[in-house]
Amino acid sequence: MDITVFGIGYVGLVQAAVLADVGHNVMCVDVDAEKVQRLNQGIIPIYEPGLEDLVKENHAAGLIVFTTDASAAVRHGQIIISAVGTPPGEDGSADLKYVISVAETIAKEMEEHKIIVSKSTVPVGTCDMVRKRVGDILKMRGREDLTFDVVSNPEFLKEGSAVADCMRPDRIIIGTQSEQSEQVMRELYAPFNRNHEKIIVMDIRSAEFTKYAANCMLATKISFINEMASLAEQLGVDIEEVRKGIGSDPRIGYHFIYPGAGYGGSCFPKDVRALIKTAEGVQFDAKMLKAVEERNNQQKFVLFDKAYKYFNGDLKGKRFALWGLAFKPNTDDMREAPARILMESLWREGASVSAYDPEAMQECQAIYGQRNDLMLCGTKEAALRDADALMIVTEWKNFKAPSFDTIRQSLKNPVIFDGRNLYNPKVVARHGLEYYSIGRMAA
Ligand code: UDX
C-alpha cells in the first residue's frame, strides 16, 4: 500500500520505518529541510535501538523516502498518517497548530479519496475538527466531489523500545465511523495482527480518549507508588518488599510500580496536564489527575531534598557525580527528565555537577551549553572522581553492578543518593558507603 507520513518525529519515523519494513511504500514528509536532507544521507535524528538499520535498509530498498514536498506527499498515499507534534500550549492544553496545518495541506492538495489517520496524541474532538477543516477547504476549492475519511489511530510506543513496540503492538486502536476505512486500516496493519486479534475498533472520540486514559493510568500507578514510598520512609517500611508483595496480585501487576525520581519524557507529563485541561473545558474538576501531577512534581525534588538534608543545607561549592541524564534508559531524550530538576536545584544552591549518561550527553550539552558548574564526563568512573557524593537518576543497565570500592575510593564523602533503587542497601553498606534510596530507610 502507498502510505504518507506527515511528521518525522519519534512516532512518525518509527511507524514509517516499520511499515516500510513489511513492504508498504512509505513517503515521509516534514517541514524541517535539514532533517529530511540528513535522513536522505542516512543520518537518523534520534537514538532508538534498531531504528538506524531499519531506516537505512528500507531506504536503500526504496520503500521509505523522505521529502519536504507536501504536495507530492499528499498525492502519494491513499492513507495519510499525521504524526506531527502536539506540544503543550502555555496553559498545558495540547497545541494543535501542526495537526491543523497538516489537515489544511491535505485538503488543498488532494485530488482523490484519502484516509487521514490521526496518530498524534490529540484531545477528544480533534478528528471532528480535522474533518470540518478539510471539508471547509474542499468546499472553498469547489471540490465537494472529493471524499475522505478521518480515522483515530493512537500510537502506544515507548521510547527506548519504540521499534519493537511498533513491530509487536499490544493493541491497535482504530477509531472510525466508516466500514470502508476500517477495512483499509485492517489491511495496513495485517502484518502486525497475525497471531491473535490485536485490532480494537471503536468510535473516533473513544479512540482519542483511550490514548490519554492509558497514559494517565500509567502515570497514576507511578505517582501512587511514589507516594507509598515517601510514606514508607516515615514508617520504617521497605517499599521494594511492598512492591513485590502487591505486584504478585495480577490485578495490580508488577509493571509500572517502580518507585523513583518521578516520571518524565514527552508523554506522561504533557498528557496528564492536557487531560486536566480538557476536563476543565467541560467544567470537570479532575482531582485525581491533579494529584498525580502534583506528586510527580514533588518527586523530582526527592533526591535533591535528601542531599540537602545530608549536607545540612550547605551545598555551595559541592560537586555531585550524576549517573543518568535521560528521562529513562535506552534513550537520549531529556524532555521533562528528573535529572534536569535535580541539576537546576543543585546549581541554584551553588553546587556543581559532573555527569555521565551513555546516550544523553550531547542532548545535555545542547540544552545547557557550556557552563562552569556542569562537567560532562566520558565514563561513569570519571564523573565520580573527587565528587562529594553520587546521585543516580536513570537506571541504565551499566549502572546496575558498579564497583562499590571504586565509588567509595573516588568520592570525598562515601554516600550514594539513588533515585532508582538499583542496589541492595545491605550490600552497599557492606562496602562502607552510606546509601539513600527511595522508600527505604537509609543504610
Ligand atoms: C509512555 C508510554 O509508556 C507509552 O505507551 C506512550 O505511547 C508514551 O508514553 P515513554 O514516555 O517512552 O512512554 O516512557 P515509559 O517507559 O512509559 O516511562 C515514562 C516515565 O515513567 C520514565 O521517566 C520512567 O522512568 C518512569 N517510570 C516508569 C517510573 O518512574 N516507574 C515505573 O514503574 C515505570
pLDDT band at residue 441 using 50, 70 and 90 as cut-offs: confident
Q: What are the residues facing 303 on neighbouring strands?
A: none
159 lines ligand 1 (CB under 6 A): yes
Spot the catalytic one: 28, 166, 267, 377. Answer: 267
The pLDDT tens digits for 227-251 are: 999 999 999 999 999 999 999 999 9
The CATH number of the domain where 252 resides is what? Answer: 1.10.1040.10
* Residues 307, 281 share a domain: no
What's the whole-number mean pLDDT along residues 93-101? 93
Angle, helices 204-235 vs 287-299, to 10°: value is: 50
Q: What is the pLDDT of residue 89?
A: 86
Domain that holds residue 312: 300-436
Which residue, judged by its Cα, is nearest atom 19 of ligand 1?
263
The CATH number of the domain where 104 resides is what? Answer: 3.40.50.720
pLDDT band at residue 225 using 50, 70 and 90 as cut-offs: very high
* Residues 320, 404 share a domain: yes
H/E segment holding residue 367: helix 361-368
Q: Is residue 441 part of a domain?
A: no
Q: What is the pLDDT of residue 342?
A: 98
The pLDDT tens digits for 391-405 are: 999 999 999 999 999
79 Cβ neighbours under 8 A, 6+ residues apart: 1, 2, 3, 4, 114, 115, 117, 184, 185, 188
3-state helix, strand, coil in the chain (%, to 5): 45, 15, 40
pLDDT band at residue 90 using 50, 70 and 90 as cut-offs: confident
* Residues 308, 263 share a domain: no
* Residues 100, 136 share a domain: yes
What's the whole-number mean pLDDT along residues 254-278? 95
Which residue, judged by its Cα, is nearest atom 26 of ligand 1?
263
218 lines ligand 1 (CB under 6 A): yes
CA of residue 97 to ligand 1 center, whole Å: 26
Q: What is the pLDDT of residue 443?
A: 66
* Residues 245, 180 share a domain: no
> Which atom, in ligand 1's list, is nearest to the CA of 214?
5
Q: Is residue 96 part of a domain?
A: yes
CA of residue 159 to ligand 1 center, whole Å: 8
156 lines ligand 1 (CB under 6 A): yes
What's the whole-number mean pLDDT along residues 287-316? 98
* Residues 258, 273 share a domain: yes
Q: Domain count of the chain?
A: 3
Final residue before a domain boundary, out of 239, 270, 297? 297
pLDDT at residue 331 tops 80: yes
Q: What is the pLDDT of residue 160?
A: 87
Q: Is residue 207 part of a domain?
A: no
Contact 177, 115 (CB under 8 A): no
Q: Is residue 443 part of a domain?
A: no
For the chain, the average pLDDT equals 96
* Residues 176, 280 share a domain: no
* Residues 178, 254 share a domain: no
Final residue before a domain boundary, out of 240, 265, 297? 297
Angle, helices 239-247 vs 204-235, to 10°: value is: 140
ipTM value, please give it. 0.92
Q: What is the pLDDT of residue 87?
A: 87
What's the whole-number mean pLDDT along residues 70-74? 97
* Residues 151, 56 share a domain: yes
The pLDDT tens digits for 416-432 are: 999 999 999 999 999 99
Q: Is residue 274 part of a domain?
A: yes
Final residue before a domain boundary, out of 137, 167, 202? 202
* Residues 280, 329 share a domain: no
* Residues 432, 314 share a domain: yes
Give me the DSSP letters along 308-331: HHHTTT--TT-EEEEE--SSSTT-
* Residues 241, 320 share a domain: no
Least confident of 50-59, 67-76, 88-97, 378-387: 88-97
pLDDT band at residue 209 using 50, 70 and 90 as cut-offs: very high
Give catalytic status of residue 28 as yes or no: no
Number of residues in the chain: 443
What's the whole-number mean pLDDT along residues 139-145? 97
> Which atom, in ligand 1's list, is nearest to the CA of 162?
12
97 Cβ neighbours under 8 A, 6+ residues apart: none
259 lines ligand 1 (CB under 6 A): no
pLDDT at residue 41 tops 70: yes
Q: Is residue 442 part of a domain?
A: no
Kindly report the pTM of this predicted structure.
Answer: 0.93
pLDDT at residue 415 tops 80: yes
Is 220 in a helix, a strand, or coil? Answer: helix
Q: Is residue 71 part of a domain?
A: yes
256 lines ligand 1 (CB under 6 A): yes
Q: Is residue 45 part of a domain?
A: yes
Q: What is the pLDDT of residue 94?
A: 84
267 lines ligand 1 (CB under 6 A): yes
